[in-house]
Structure formats: C-alpha cells, structure tokens
Structure 1
Amino acid sequence: MPHAATIDGTRIAYQVRGEGQPLVLLAGQSNNHTCWDPIRSDFEGHRTVTLDWRGTGASDKPDEVYSTRGFAQDVVAVLDDLGLNSANIYGTSMGGRVAQWLAIDHPERIDALVLGCTSPGAAHGYERSQEIRKALADPARTDRVLLELMYTPGWLAQNPGPYYVLGDTSMPSYAKGRHLVASNRHEAWDGLPSITAPTLILHGSDDIFSPAANAQLLADRIPGARVELIEGARHAYFHEFRSVASPAVLAFLAAQDRTQHGA
C-alpha cells in the first residue's frame, strides 16, 4: 500500500481505484478508508482516492495534537504523492470539516466540493443535544446507540452488518481521543466565505448527530453553495440512501465538469 510523507514526516496510507477524473473521498472521525467500501463502486468512472487518517489504518499514529486543518495538509500530501494538481473532494462528517479547510487553504487543488453531514464548528454551528452527548459518553453504551444515530430502525433491522461507521477498531485509545478533540475543535466559520470551489452540501433531514440545520448554515456562508436534503435519512445517509446520495454527487460533478470544459 502506498504512503505519502507529510511535512512533519508522518506517513499517510492511501488507496487508489479506477480511472477517470480524480475524486478524493474523506471519511468521518476515527474511521479509515474502509468507510467507503460499501459505496465506492457507485463512483466508477472516477479515479477514487481514499486515505487512512493519521491515527488510523495503515497510517502512522503519532501521539500528538491533531486538527482538521492539519488533516487537510495530510490530504495535500497524498495529492502531491499522486502528482495530482487538483481533484474533486467529497467529505462526510469530520471528513467534511477537513474538506472545508482544503477549500479555504488550498483553493487551487479543488475542482468541485461536496460536503456531507457536516458543520462549520461548534461556535457557530448547530450541535447535537446534551442527551446525545451523555449517551455517547456513557461507558456502558453499546454500538447500538451510535448505529441508531447513523441509520433508521428499518434499515438496521434488514442489515445486520458489518457496519463501517463505528470507527477503526485497531486505533490506539490515544488516537481516538486525538480524533475526537480535532473534530470538536473544528472552527472554519471565518474562512468559509473565501471558498471558491463549486459546492454541493448533502445532509439527511433526520440527522440529529450533526443536526440538519447545519446544511443551510454552510450554504449561506459559502458563495454559490447548493443544499440537497435527503428526506428520512440520518447521519450515514451515504450508505442507507446511496440510491439518492451517490447519483446526486455524480450529477453535480458531471455538471461542474461540463461547465469547466465548456461541453
């Protein structure tokens, strides 16, 4: 598996599949590239690029401060290692937070931007309720608590697993903590108006893990951004409602490609 070397010497594992216009897929907090396995085939026709965040998968796991802005630098290192001047970026949850920093700090590297089930940060965004926070922090909780925030009961009843959004089980405990802090400290509000990439914002209408109101909040802050709410979907809309979400992403990317190339 190839690795990219970051500015600080950390090795970031990445994976490439397919041919076509590059599409970088960025997973949520504490998840590695396998989060995309259930739907990666939806993006055939694109050269899909995934990576293992530092602290996960086959990447290095330094015990130091992580940040969403720093994760964005790791993505740039992967692009550089692949010789890609630019790419389409699709990030969900914490991956969407990282994608915001990519678009702010490296506008020339992004052809089109898709932000899924994410927020601008706690200071200005809509946060999950205290009840949810307590449930997630309870040492006695089971993965079921998290799964019910991700998927509808009907879908869970029909899909016994495996699930791909519960985090990388091989992560050291310190790395899980570093990821949590990085996501919680995300704050990109001031930089959002500077984003120049064409932007699509996707969100499940019934998402209370990252409340759906964040979608319009981001759209109002990012010039020209467009929102698509996926009715009935929770946080992991991209899995359960893939028949709606993946075509929406593909249609958006195709439209941007036509615009950029005058076709």
Structure 2
Amino acid sequence: MPHATAPDGTRIACQVRGAGAPLLLLSGQSNSHRWWDSVRADFDAERTTVTLDWRGTGDSEKPDQPYSTTGFAEDVIAVLDALGVDRADVYGTSMGGRVAQWLAARHPARVRRLVLGCTSPGGVHGFERDRAVSTALASRDHRAARATLLDLMYTPGWLSTHPGPHGTIGDPGMPAYARGRHLTASRRHDAWDVLPDISAPTLVVHGSADVFNPAANAPLLTRRIPGARMHLIPDARHAYFEEFRDVASPLVLDFLDEPED
C-alpha cells in the first residue's frame, strides 16, 4: 500500500484502483477509506479512484496532536503529489466535504470538478444538528449510541435488509484520542469566507431527510459557491451515497462527465 508524507512528516496511507481520469474520494469523520467500499466499484469502472486513510485512521499514522480540516487538505495534497496526480475531480462527503472545500479554495489548480456531499460550511453560518442528536451520540451506552448513528445514516427499511457490517460508522481500530481529534477538527471547520473563491464547477448533493448534517446546509453552500448547483435526494439520510447509490452514483458521474465550457 503506498504512503505519502505530509508536511509535518506524518505518513498517510492511500489506495488507487480502477482506470481512467483521476477521481479523489474523501470519506467522513473518524473513517478510513473503507467508507467507500460499498460504492467504489461504481466509480472504478470509469475512473482511477484515489482514497486515503485520514491521519488517525486505517494504515495512516496517528499522531496525538491537533487535527484540522485545513491540515487534512494539506495531507490530501501530499497524497496527490506522491501519486503524481496534478489535477483530479474531487468527491468529498461529510467531513470529507469540509476538507474538499479547503482543497478547492486554496489549491484551485488541483481540482477539475467538485462534488460536496452531505456537508456544511461550518462556523456560525452553518446549520448544526439538534443538540438532542449530539447527546444521543455521546451516550455511554455504546450499543444505544451505535443504534442512533445507524438511524442517522440509513432509513429503517434499508437497515432491515442490510444488517451490516456498515463501513460508515467509524474505523473500529481508531484510538480514542484520534476520534476526539477528528471530532474537534470537524466542529471547528469554518470555510465560509473562502467558499466564494472556489472556481471549480461544483455540485452539492444531500439527502433531504439528513438530520445528522442538516439538509439546510445544501442550499447554503450552493448560494455561497459561484455557479454551484444542488441536488437533494428525497427521503435519503446521511449515507445517501450508499442507500441511494442507484441515484447518487450516476448523478455524480454524469456531472463529472459534462464537457468543459
């Protein structure tokens, strides 16, 4: 498995599959590249997909030091540099979408087209989830907290026929301190001021029933990023890309395949 070296010396594991133009897939908070396992084949058929394990997850190093979404973006640049990828399409979901905002704003030459899924601009302008949801997720009853997380990710009907394992509810091998570092990085994200600097054609995708990262963030991002367009997937929750993959994957690929202006 290849590794890249981040600016601070941390080794970041990355994975490359498929063939074709490069597509960078960025996973959610406290998750490794396994986040994409259930749908990656949808993109491998047409693209060279690049993923990475965020620092603190998977096969990447796990320093016990402050993490940030801006720092994660620099880790991504280190991965692209190590792989010799000058420019890629970028599809970031949840915290990966937060990182993708910085990537597109600060490194515009590296991003051809941008998809922001189930994410938020953060800061005082972003819509936060209800406090009761956060309280339930922080329960010391780990089984109850896990059940809450699954309910936020998927509809009950889908869960009844897909008992798991689920690759979107956290890297099981992640140290507790790293989980805390990820949570803090996500909570402190605030890209509001740089969103107008994003020049890549942008698609914002969100599940209409997402309360984990409220769907109200989608129109907020769409209005703030020049020329962005939005697609809400009816009845979908946070893991729309998996449960509603028959809608979401073609939607993203069609957007990425649009001809340049």
Give the shorter-chain TM-score range: over 0.9
Quote the sequence identity (%).
Answer: 64
Give the partner amino acid of 2:235.
Answer: G
Where do 5+ consecutive residues of structure 2 fail to align? none
Q: Offset of 1:142 from its aligned partner?
A: 3.4
Determine if the alignment matches structure 1 residue 171 to structure 2 residue 204: no
Tell me, in whole angstroms, the C-alpha distance in 2 between the residues paired with 1:228 and 1:137.
31
Tell me, in whole angstroms, the C-alpha distance in 2 between the residues paired with 1:81 and 1:222.
29
- On the 8 A contact 2:202/2:229 being kept in 1, the answer is yes
Tell me, in whole angstroms, the C-alpha distance in 2 between the residues paired with 1:249 and 1:107.
20
Q: Offset of 1:133 from its aligned partner?
A: 1.1
Tell me the equivalent position of 1:49. 50
Which of 223, 238, 242 pairs up with 1:239?
Answer: 242
Deviations 1:202-243 (A, max 9, x none): 000000011101000000000000000000100000000000
Q: Offset of 1:130 from its aligned partner?
A: 1.0
Tell me the equivalent position of 1:156. 159
List aligned pairs for 1:85-234, cutoff 5 A: 85-140=86-141, 141-234=144-237
Tell me, in whole angstroms, the C-alpha distance in 1 between the residues paired with 2:138 and 2:62.
23
Tell me the equivalent position of 1:39. 39
Tell me, in whole angstroms, the C-alpha distance in 1 between the residues paired with 2:12 and 2:253.
27
Tell me the equivalent position of 2:74. 73
Measured on the aligned residues, the alpha-carbon RMSD in Å equals 0.7
Q: Offset of 1:138 from its aligned partner?
A: 1.3
| Worse-matched range after superposition: 175-184 or 132-141 | 132-141
Q: What is the number of equivalent residue pairs in this alignment?
A: 258
Tell me, in whole angstroms, the C-alpha distance in 2 between the residues paired with 1:247 and 1:139.
39
Q: Offset of 1:98 from its aligned partner?
A: 0.2
Return the TM-score normalized by structure 1: 0.97
Give the partner amino acid of 2:106.
Answer: D
Deviations 1:38-77 (A, max 9, x none): 0000011100000000000000000000000000000000
Determine if the alignment matches structure 1 residue 18 to structure 2 residue 18: yes
Tell me the equivalent position of 1:4. 4
Deviations 1:166-197 (A, max 9, x none): 11010111000000000000000000001000
Aligned residue for 1:123, secondary structure, equals: helix
Return the TM-score normalized by structure 2: 0.98
Tell me, in whole angstroms, the C-alpha distance in 2 between the residues paired with 1:67 and 1:202.
23
Tell me, in whole angstroms, the C-alpha distance in 2 between the residues paired with 1:179 and 1:240.
25
- On the 8 A contact 2:118/2:213 being kept in 1, the answer is yes
Tell me, in whole angstroms, the C-alpha distance in 1 between the residues paired with 2:123 and 2:9.
30
Tell me, in whole angstroms, the C-alpha distance in 2 between the residues paired with 1:74 and 1:54.
8
Q: Offset of 1:122 from its aligned partner?
A: 3.3
Tell me, in whole angstroms, the C-alpha distance in 1 between the residues paired with 2:123 and 2:160.
33
Tell me, in whole angstroms, the C-alpha distance in 1 between the residues paired with 2:33 and 2:126.
26
Tell me, in whole angstroms, the C-alpha distance in 2 between the residues paired with 1:92 and 1:205.
15
Structure 1 runs of 4+ with >6 Å offset: none
